[in-house]
Amino acid sequence: MASKSQHNAPKTKSPNGKAESQGQWGRAWEVDWFSLASVIFLLLFAPFIVYYFIMACDQYSCSLTTPVVDIATGRANLADIWAKTPPVTAKAVQLYTLWVSFQVLLYSWLPDFCHRFLPGYVGGVQEGAITPAGIVNKYEVNGLQAWLITHFLWFLNAYFLSWFSPTIIFDNWIPLLWCANILGYAVSTFAMIKGYLFPTSVEDRKFTGNFFYNYMMGIEFNPRIGKWFDFKLFFNGRPGIVAWTLINLSFAAKQQELYGHVTNSMILVNVLQAIYVLDFFWNETWYLKTIDICHDHFGWYLGWGDCVWLPYLYTLQGLYLVYHPVHLSTPNAVGILLLGLVGYYIFRITNHQKDLFRRTDGRCLIWGKKPKAIECSYTSADGQKHHSKLLVSGFWGVARHFNYTGDLMGSLAYCLACGGGHLLPYFYIIYMTILLTHRCLRDEHRCANKYGRDWERYTAAVPYRLLPGIF
Ligand code: NDP
């Protein structure tokens, strides 16, 4: 099976037109019309979508329909809306530059010390998964440390130093949006040029011959500057995910300033999303084995997405609650908290089960029993045959992506905390459902190519993707 898969390995074109053999990883090597149309749609409209949501909160109290109705009925026009939009300011540029530079500094210059004193935490120098070209990259995992230091300084300022107001992020939210866009486009464009002119690993590139697709989905698999500055690890985790909890704290501070108190809904959103963010950093080493790092190339999708889409759209609930301070009844608050915690539990345990299983090569217990697995094999681009196993015990026996199901339950909880007044805070669950369903299909397509018949045996053993009996 493995040699057959090598024989059938897809060909990709290098910039000089020569065909290169690629392994069965990563993004597509041929662009179909639907993918190309989606890419062009996103390149054109994703920045506009982000602007629309943020503008709707700023000018229309988070109503998504009023701007459209106003324009349709002539009560407003695009020029009016644009004229009312705060422009980029020198203060925002300074803040953003300081913020990103500080995160670069924490990432590049401060080796991890958390793993020395936090029991169970795995940080410091860690290895990623094997790349299509057969390379195993090393990473300095120090995200938890960066998160702790950043938040320590935030609270130090808020309670003792008072160098700046904790509402600073909210107060500069739109000017900062322009800065985030500049960085997002700059890094994606740089990554594209780098992919052609000075790639980190020549063998780990993919070219489709379509400029837009290459720009969006990336050329290089693991672009780096120097030995350690890894674009994917840096941009995925910081500045976006470290910022996530700070942004929420700033929104809570704004509620306090405006209304004299922080609502239970705002506390719920802050707490549930902080658990998710902390989980991400606590498990950053595990994250090296996820699709983002193991399979996606670095292009606009990750570069711009991490700088703009994530910090601006994943935080819509907190932003909404500044404009609409929702007070939840105790039963509702408890119900939402439980939904969020159960979702988190499923998400975490499912991810943990796979990680434990793969790390110990199946020599572990899942739900108190020796795990059942399907043996599989595949071949990398260098022609080497590898062996792997697919777990069919624990949550991996319930559905093929039950970790996504838990993630979706948690996402729904954040949205429900905002009550039923507007659609805007529900964008997150709609988006996550589309993202994770698409991701699930994309991953399964890749796994089917990678493992062939062995993957068919797995899908026969675990027939559902997300919801047993339904999908
Ligand atoms: P997974 O962690 O589910 O990884 C999928 C990979 O795991 C597959 O490609 C395959 O890789 C391997 N695999 C699949 N089935 C099995 C099995 N039965 N046993 C062992 N290994 C298996 O996916 P992601 O990387 O997408 O997600 C990681 C987490 O991140 C998820 O919990 C997801 O919810 C979350 N996430 C959150 C996002 C957000 O924006 N909030 C975005 C994306 C993800 P291999 O080739 O090694 O066999």
C-alpha of residue 366 to centroid of ligand 1, in Å: 18
pLDDT per residue of the chain (471 residues) written in tens, 0 to 9: 233 333 333 333 444 433 333 444 555 666 778 888 888 999 889 999 999 999 999 999 999 999 999 999 999 999 999 999 999 999 999 999 999 999 999 999 999 999 999 999 999 999 988 887 888 889 999 999 999 999 999 999 999 999 999 999 999 999 999 999 999 999 999 999 999 999 888 888 888 888 899 999 999 999 999 888 999 999 988 888 999 999 999 999 999 999 999 999 999 999 999 999 999 999 999 888 877 788 889 999 999 999 999 999 999 999 999 999 999 999 999 999 999 999 999 999 999 999 899 889 889 999 989 999 999 988 776 777 888 899 999 999 999 999 999 999 999 999 999 999 899 999 999 999 998 999 899 889 988 888 888 899 999 999 999 988 888
In this structure, the residues whose C-beta lies within 6 A of any atom of ligand 1 are 290-291, 347, 351, 354, 388, 390-391, 396, 401, 403-404, 407, 439, 443, 447, 450
C-alpha of residue 388 to centroid of ligand 1, in Å: 15
Pocket-testing residue among 236, 284, 291, ligand 1, by greatest number of atoms within 8 A of Cβ = 291
Rounded Cα distance, 230 and 312, in Å: 23
Residue nearest to atom 7 of ligand 1 (CA): 290
Residue nearest to atom 45 of ligand 1 (CA): 447
C-alpha of residue 213 to centroid of ligand 1, in Å: 23
C-alpha of residue 416 to centroid of ligand 1, in Å: 26
Residue nearest to atom 21 of ligand 1 (CA): 390
pLDDT at position 290: 79
pLDDT at position 15: 41
Pocket-testing residue among 302, 306, 387, 407, ligand 1, by greatest number of atoms within 8 A of Cβ = 407
C-alpha of residue 370 to centroid of ligand 1, in Å: 22
Residue nearest to atom 43 of ligand 1 (CA): 436
C-alpha of residue 408 to centroid of ligand 1, in Å: 14
103: CB partners within 8 A, 6+ apart: 146, 150, 234, 238, 239, 242
C-alpha of residue 170 to centroid of ligand 1, in Å: 33
Q: Give the closest residue to 270 by CA, choosing from 284, 253, 287.
A: 253
CA distances from 108 to 115, 139, 225, 233, 315 (A): 17, 11, 11, 11, 27
Q: Give the closest residue to 139 by CA, choosing from 129, 150, 130, 128.
A: 128
C-alpha of residue 254 to centroid of ligand 1, in Å: 36
Pocket-testing residue among 276, 443, 446, ligand 1, by greatest number of atoms within 8 A of Cβ = 443
Q: Which atom of ligand 1 is nearest to the CA of 291?
A: 25
C-alpha of residue 464 to centroid of ligand 1, in Å: 15
pLDDT at position 26: 54
Residue nearest to atom 16 of ligand 1 (CA): 390
Q: Which atom of ligand 1 is nearest to the CA of 357?
A: 20
C-alpha of residue 449 to centroid of ligand 1, in Å: 16
Pocket-testing residue among 447, 451, 456, 465, ligand 1, by greatest number of atoms within 8 A of Cβ = 447
Q: Which atom of ligand 1 is nearest to the CA of 450?
A: 46
C-alpha of residue 469 to centroid of ligand 1, in Å: 21
C-alpha of residue 292 to centroid of ligand 1, in Å: 9
Q: Give the closest residue to 295 by CA, choosing from 450, 428, 415, 420.
A: 450
